[in-house]
Structure 1
């Protein structure tokens, strides 16, 4: 029987047409939770109510006994509903872009793995967050947090945290020594960071002729364009215009500052200049146009994989190509940290590569400037690199040398400051490639 790809509607739900489905997506201006959803309790695992006008959920939500994932972003909640804590199978909770001010301890489900509270009005988080041992991913950008609960130090599975655009005065030491933490974004807080402004060419909007759209992400839109500088032949470029809103990673304007400060490196997409005189006063960059042979190394994590990228089932690398990609990324990470920048999102889905192993690191949406804790910040990113290296080695066609496996283990060990620096990693990989 052919799959039913028709949109989910309230009428179809009420008519019983959706019986047996595992995922329900309803976005139709709901102001009340439709009780007919409980008719799906025998099968429903993913409930997406994003983009409605909801402010409450039923106290007996736990009747949805198979519910693993709940998205209620872009609604009107002012408090994270306490009924979530009674949902025994609930692992992923997403309430981005509401008006949430209160997060009761009772609202935290026992199997919580991934919590999304981006773009709300939260001042304080409960200490009970530290009692969520399965917590891997915590998205808190764009709130009013002045500190994090110290109980999070007990969350030894926490691998990714987004705390950009809050009111944090410092990064606590316990945060930087979490054994599994690999992806950290903290820009846009009143922290003492070391950001040295970098001079950059200004390119008037009138010199740019936009062509087709190349892509769109959370932080902005990328289009191909022709840049006609005075007394120069037209040059094909990419133009990225930034959105003003808070993303899951933080502020697009912080991303732009990091892109500029990153400077020039063979594994970076070169920034040609900053756009001025845009008719809508939009911020943007003119960047090198990437050859079409470059493709994404991986896809982003899924709901099931949580913090791990998704690779093509056919993805295979020769040892030489895997080493070349790894050495390129280690080299550009070394460069960024020398510039005082943590990339914050060192992942295969943010890497472009070609069949020869030439690679480019993109997407600075989670980038942050160093505080005085630079050595620990670097070692957190070394763990992200070690995870990436492990993914490459797992897909190698040849036998992986023991020294390469050992390096991967060294990068991902639980003791943060025992990990190597990117300079040491890059030197080891260079030595291996030269053998």
Structure 2
């Protein structure tokens, strides 16, 4: 984190990256001293409402974040910033995006938790767009122009006012991660339920981790005279980049039981904190994250530590487990929406556990065409996972590698209609010798 004081004293001269968060109400004009070098600017968590009309002078600026500010209009001047690749305006009050405000160079656009009721048709000119985050707005329609964004791989449209998915979504050749829960779809879903556990049974202990939708704690459960170590996820309540936490809870409950899913023990109401939570099996400490979330450079693809490598047996076990659990979820009318290595935990034996239902969405299994295409969108994500597994596989057995590469290529086909379903993928993987 930098300071305005440093900026005014000239201590940031030549800086490539600057982050300022000091309750600013006006754009610090001293930043213009950095127009020749600045590539990354983060002005999040201030009180800004506008940008200077000559902001385009930052010719080298590639990444700009202005989340948690007070903008009600997406700054039109950004459409003149030729190098901008990634733009984030999460949690503002944006109602309008001017037609000329989106530069064709954009690759990653974050507009989560604003007040947008419409997107400009000009978004169709963003041919490089790969990642579009629109959860938590007031969108009743998506412009047909988005159909022109053929590179779009990740689309978050949860927690809006959509009444259906537009047909053109199923023609996007690279779409792999889709979240659309929390809209006004007319579906008669009967959600599964989980046992209601008493908060008095739980002794909350150490913090295990925190994500966008909630915080996970280790806890002790006292029941029928026995003590069991469990995990408790306490949901925060507000809209996340994926959608509503309530939808995540419903999806996790509806997912049911599968060897690759962390076991769900029940739900709990924390009345004092006015929050709700899920009680789950405690994941053994020998499990670790297979991958790391995408970086600003990789955009939609996971990144991996140099130390991560898997044997042929481990790769095959992970591939089989993920295909099996995906088949299981789609049989229940659930698209996970976030099928990534960073949401998979594995151990040295190659056993895998899948989690994080924040982007999961229900769909009508009785609509055969809808079910077919939504499954094939997720198959694309699975294809990318196979590609990742091949990258970190240390076994060079040609027959095994070539067969897995062939399956990967089928899953990554640009035409949704020719991709295999998860049932077929499971059968092909079972035919591969360990």
What band does the TM-score fall into relative to the shorter chain? Answer: over 0.9
Aligned match for 2:238, one of 245, 249, 269 = 245
For residue 407 of structure 2, give the secondary structure of its aligned residue in structure 1.
helix
Is the CA contact (8 Å cut-off) linking 2:270 and 2:276 kept in structure 1? no
1:148-187 pair list within 5 angstroms: 148-187=142-181
1:284: which partner in 2?
277
User: CA separation in 2, counterparts of 1:194 and 1:298?
Assistant: 37
301-310 or 315-324, which deviates more: 315-324
310-319 or 163-172, which deviates more: 310-319
2:134: which partner in 1?
140
Is the CA contact (8 Å cut-off) linking 1:194 and 1:370 kept in structure 2? no
For residue 432 of structure 1, give the secondary structure of its aligned residue in structure 2.
coil
Aligned-residue offset at 1:387: 0.2
1:220: which partner in 2?
214
User: CA separation in 1, counterparts of 2:341 and 2:285?
Assistant: 18
User: CA separation in 2, counterparts of 1:366 and 1:199?
Assistant: 19
1:71-82 pair list within 5 angstroms: 71-82=65-76
1:3: which partner in 2?
none
Output one character per residue of 1:264-294: Cα deviation in whole Å (capped at 9) or x when no partner. 0000001100103532331110000000110
Is the CA contact (8 Å cut-off) linking 1:301 and 1:310 kept in structure 2? yes
User: CA separation in 1, counterparts of 2:239 and 2:269?
Assistant: 22
Structure 1: give runs of 5+ residues left out of the alignment: 1-6
2:257: which partner in 1?
264
Aligned-residue offset at 1:194: 5.5
For residue 365 of structure 1, give the secondary structure of its aligned residue in structure 2.
coil
Output one character per residue of 1:358-416: Cα deviation in whole Å (capped at 9) or x when no partner. 00111000000013311100000000000000010122112243221110000000001
Aligned match for 1:97, one of 91, 96, 105 = 91
User: CA separation in 2, counterparts of 1:343 and 1:433?
Assistant: 28
Output one character per residue of 1:176-228: Cα deviation in whole Å (capped at 9) or x when no partner. 22100000000000113453221321101111100000000000000000111
User: CA separation in 1, counterparts of 2:306 and 2:316?
Assistant: 20
Instruction: Provide the aligned C-alpha RMSD in A.
Output: 1.0
1:419: which partner in 2?
419
Output one character per residue of 1:51-78: Cα deviation in whole Å (capped at 9) or x when no partner. 0000000111111111001000000000
User: CA separation in 1, counterparts of 2:209 and 2:307?
Assistant: 25
User: CA separation in 1, counterparts of 2:243 and 2:331?
Assistant: 22
- Figure out how many residues of one structure are paired with residues of the other and give that number: 427
Output one character per residue of 1:76-131: Cα deviation in whole Å (capped at 9) or x when no partner. 00000000000000011100100000011211022000110000000010111011
Aligned-residue offset at 1:431: 1.0
For residue 426 of structure 1, give the secondary structure of its aligned residue in structure 2.
helix
1:4: which partner in 2?
none
Is the CA contact (8 Å cut-off) linking 1:71 and 1:95 kept in structure 2? yes
User: CA separation in 1, counterparts of 2:4 and 2:162?
Assistant: 42
User: CA separation in 2, counterparts of 1:217 and 1:135?
Assistant: 25
User: CA separation in 2, counterparts of 1:267 and 1:426?
Assistant: 14
Is the CA contact (8 Å cut-off) linking 1:220 and 1:243 kept in structure 2? yes
2:82: which partner in 1?
88
2:382: which partner in 1?
385
1:206: which partner in 2?
200
1:336: which partner in 2?
329
Is the CA contact (8 Å cut-off) linking 1:143 and 1:166 kept in structure 2? yes
Structure 2: give runs of 5+ residues left out of the alignment: none
Output one character per residue of 1:283-324: Cα deviation in whole Å (capped at 9) or x when no partner. 110000000110100110111110011101122111111111
User: CA separation in 2, counterparts of 1:123 and 1:176?
Assistant: 23
388-397 or 193-202, which deviates more: 193-202
Give the TM-score taking structure 2 as reference length. Answer: 0.97
User: CA separation in 1, counterparts of 2:36 and 2:306?
Assistant: 31
Is the CA contact (8 Å cut-off) linking 2:386 and 2:404 kept in structure 1? no
Q: Does 1:351 align with 2:344?
A: yes
Aligned match for 1:325, one of 314, 318, 323 = 318
Is the CA contact (8 Å cut-off) linking 1:42 and 1:66 kept in structure 2? yes
User: CA separation in 2, counterparts of 1:91 and 1:346?
Assistant: 24
Q: Does 1:366 align with 2:359?
A: yes
User: CA separation in 1, counterparts of 2:191 and 2:393?
Assistant: 41
For residue 233 of structure 2, give the secondary structure of its aligned residue in structure 1.
strand
User: CA separation in 2, counterparts of 1:200 and 1:63?
Assistant: 56
1:432: which partner in 2?
432
Output one character per residue of 1:11-37: Cα deviation in whole Å (capped at 9) or x when no partner. 000001011221110000111101111
Aligned match for 1:191, one of 160, 163, 185 = 185
